Amino acid sequence: MTDIGKASVLDDWLSHSPIVPVITLESVDQAVPLAKALFAGGLSVLEVTLRTPAGLPGIESIRATLPDVIVGAGTVMTVEQLQAVQTAGAQFVVSPGSTPELLSAMIHSELPILPGIATLSELMLGYQMGLRRFKFFPAEISGGIKALKAFSGPAADCSFCPTGGVSPGNLKDYLGLTNVIAVGGTWLTPADALASQSWSTITDLAKSACALASSIRTG
């Protein structure tokens, strides 16, 4: 698949589900019920991070059980991890930052990608390699709304998924930007709800987020 083709696939997924839960699993057993809870709330594109050992098998479990859910791998930091998430069945890849080696490997993979950037120099590195879709992380402490508005000048043809500090309180501001295709957030999967297996709480959070996103995009 070409870079343009991969970007088109990603655009299509995120246009239908512009809020991407960023998930850190403490156990593999959480993966499927959590994904079901988020999907029941209207969120069909999920990012499962590799921050714990449960990440890779969690991706495998969701892919094997829930064909209507799009599941990507987050916190991919090395070429070896990229290879592992492809084997696990991840449908897209998200990195927290960018190095030339990792960017090259991501570009040559068959998966849609969201490489992480926090500065204009990192953006330029990816841009020179043909990329136009990026994760902006950590968004709030890297300039947030003001930074993304500034990026729209020299990189008017780029789109971003800001993650890190995004919440219901600033969701409207982020999704209101023309160069933001989606946002990523951890607020949809609070640790206490995961620990208590309060899946209905997570479904309610997802429904509220979807309602807010819909009001922003159609308002």
Tell me the catalytic residues.
47, 135
Distances (CA, A) of 218 to 105, 175, 178: 37, 11, 13
Q: Beta strand 183-185 with 70-74: parallel, antiparallel or unpaired?
A: unpaired
Output the 3-class SS for 6-65: HHHHHHHHHHHCCEEEEECCCCHHHHHHHHHHHHHCCCCEEEEECCCCCHHHHHHHHHHH
> Helical H runs in 89-178?
100-108, 120-128, 144-151, 171-175
First to last CA, the chain: 35
* SS3 state at 128: helix
Q: Which amino acid makes up residue 197?
A: Q
